Structure 1
Amino acid sequence: MTDQADPAPLGPGTLTWRYFGDTRMLLVGPRAAVLQNMLPALGQGVLDHSVFFAETFARLKRSAGPILNTVYGGPRSAATGRQVRDFHREIKGTMPDGTRYHALDPETYYWAHATFLDTLLYGIETFIRPLGEAEKRRVYEESKVWFRMYGVSDRAMPEDWEAFQAYWKRMLDEEIVAHGTARYGVGYVTKGLPAPPKIPAPVWRAVSPPLDAVARFVTVGGLHPRMRELLGLPWSDADERRYRRFAAAVRRAGRLWPLLPEAVRYLPQARRAFRRARASQKARRPARARR
């Protein structure tokens, strides 16, 4: 894939636009980030090159914006995607077994993208509504358009939805491991959330227990069972029942979701894209229709 011909961006008619920037996706927790770091090459790249360990939440915030803008950037989507790609050019090194890794290896880069697709599908079905097979195929085809925005070879990308399902099963069964980077990423599940700057220690000790409990519940509940198994995170049948009740309550509340302000329902990148789309639609309307 070269930079010469930009692919057409995703737009208002896509399910990805409709759901990826929905704030209910935040309830999935760090599923994608943890999964990414369970691929040895990717986890090693983060370990060797990232500030993830020094400023975890700031790093996640900086990463999320460009990814969202690759989906919602309209004519700028491909340029943003190439910027995201170029951030990774120097992320390379040697694995503990002596093999080389590079963040732009197509298999490694595609895995990172695949975790966002998985999280999108999981988030929709868990907290918003079930998806039919045709809709899953549609989201998968949209994910192929999205991936091509990065200007990275798509040789590792499965041809269709059925092939992706086989790929996903193989990756979970055979390729992911409990890499130290992934373990660190869920460390607060057992150790508690780090105290934010400027909050006095006595205050944090008083308010952190309920916050830790919520973070633990959302994080571990949002992980794939295979991830919990590899990372050694306890999750009982009772926990699973509570999580399912929680998810069902969120889905039921979805009937009221359209009544909330857009600023509550969508992340800023999505809201800006929606405003652009509405303005463009209004500009294309014949003058007589605008009267």
Structure 2
Amino acid sequence: MSIGFDEGIRQAEPMPVDDAGAEAAPNPLGPSSLIWKFYGDRRAVLSFQRVAGTENCIEQLAKGVEDHSVIFSDFAGRARRTVPPIMKTIYRENPAVWGRKVRDFHRSIKGTVDSDGSRYHALNPELFYWAHATFVDQVLFTTDTFIRRLSEDEKAQIFEESKAWYALYGVSDRTQPQTYDEFRAYWDSMLDRFVATRTITYATGYLRKGVPRPKQVPAWVWRVLGPVVDAGLHVVVVGTLPQQMRDVCALAWTEKDERRFQRFAATMRALNPVITRLPMRTLYVPWAVDAWSRVGIDPRRIANRPA
């Protein structure tokens, strides 16, 4: 990387690249890639808080979400609108077109950071790549934790594929690590930058205060059921978070919690041979199902063991 994060982020300059040929560009991923195999797996929902949370622990990105989204008034709706364009960037026949759409959604997202008055822009490469990195981490973490253990070669392969994925967005790659080892070092360095932003504090409130009672559930039922739901979410959801995020979000985590989480994760991996026999539309999200159907391949029969 030719420029440091601190220097680059404070430039707050959008840096799209040339879009020539994007409409006709072939899909750089496809059925031979591990990202196709694992990203659209519905078990990714188990790490939803990890991917949604880690990106918002970086101050500039969280401020962009706070200033330009409806996260505080329509948290679930924002998530529903975010996922489809990213899925289409991976699984549609014209991925670069969808990647550019994702990029262009962010053209007007800019403003000022509260802590020091510096500027931010969503298409600044340091900021845009960090958002992408959280999705790359999600593929790696979800697969290795809840589906099956990945070999080091497979982790490196997923990272290499993620570079082709990032190129689909049409934003400068000056921040992008070049090897999987560099990516791990980059990830660790970003964890050390985490702060308790207003966005992430709000988004994790249910983990500290408990899940609000659904309107359709009687109060007396929720008095019994609520503590069970909260205890389960604490282990399963907080267990997926890096310790730095637990710290900035004031989420307690004990050795006993860790043992419970590891038992849950091990059980999920042990069930993988059964889960991968489920119907395609049960196992995969619709965009992935359509893509696998288009190429005539059943992904349940491939890449279920380490290479």
TM-score of the aligned structures, taking structure 2 as reference length? 0.85
1:3 to 7, 12, 19: 19
Identify the range of structure 1 (81-90 vs 199-208) with the bigger mean alpha-carbon deviation.
199-208
Q: Return the letter of the residue paired with 1:169.
A: D
Q: Secondary structure at the match of 2:293?
A: helix
Query: Which of 102, 111, 121 is matched with 1:93 structurally?
Result: 111
Corresponding residue number in structure 1 for 2:173 = 154
Report the equivalent of 1:103: 122
- 1:22 alignment partner, one of 41, 66, 84: 41
**How many angstroms apart in 2 are the aligned matches of 1:13 and 1:252?**
25
Cα offset for 1:204?
7.0
1:201–1:50: structure 2 CA closer, same or farther, 3 Å change rule?
farther
> AA paired with 1:55?
D
- 2:216 matched residue in structure 1: 199
User: What does residue range 67-82 of structure 1 map to in structure 2 within 5 Å?
Assistant: 67-73=86-92, 75-82=93-100
TM-score normalized with structure 1 length: 0.90
Cα deviations across residues 183-218 of structure 1 (Å, max 9, x unaligned)?
Answer: 11111002223455x626637735444333333322
The percent of aligned pairs where both chains have the same amino acid is 45
Distance 1:8 1:160 in 2: 23
1:195 and 1:204 in contact (8 A); partners too: no
Alignment of 1:1-291 (within 5 A): 1-6=17-22, 7-9=25-27, 10-73=29-92, 75-96=93-114, 97-173=116-192, 175-196=193-214, 199=216, 202=219, 205-206=222-223, 207-278=225-296
Contact 2:41 2:285 in 1 (8 A): yes
Question: For 2:296, what is the secondary structure of its paired residue?
Answer: helix
Per-residue CA deviations over 1:113-163 (Å, capped at 9, x if unaligned) read: 001111110111111111122111110010011111111111111112122
Q: CA RMSD in A?
A: 1.7
CA deviation after TM superposition for structure 1 residue 3, in Å:
1.0
Tell me the secondary structure at the aligned position of residue 66 of structure 1: helix
Deviations 1:88-124 (A, max 9, x none): 1111101111110011100000000001111110111
Change (3 A) 1:29 1:213: farther
Contact 2:26 2:94 in 1 (8 A): no
CA distance in 1, matches of 2:44, 2:221: 27
Distance 1:201 1:47, change over 3 A: farther
Instruction: Give the corresponding residue for 1:289.
Output: none
Secondary structure of the 1:232 match is coil
Q: How many residues align?
A: 276
1:268 to partner: Cα distance: 1.1
**Cα deviations by residue, 1:222-245 (Å, 9 ceiling, x for unpaired):** 101121122221011111000000
On the 8 A contact 2:194/2:244 being kept in 1, the answer is: no
Distance 1:41 1:22, change over 3 A: same
Q: Note the residue ranges of structure 2 that are not aligned, 5 or more in a row.
A: 1-16, 298-307
Q: Is there any run of 5+ residues in structure 1 with no aligned partner, and where?
A: 280-291
**Amino acid of the structure 1 residue aligned with 2:222:** R
Specify whether residues 54 and 201 from structure 1 end up closer, same or farther in structure 2 by C-alpha distance, changes over 3 A only.
farther
1:24 CA drift (Å): 1.4
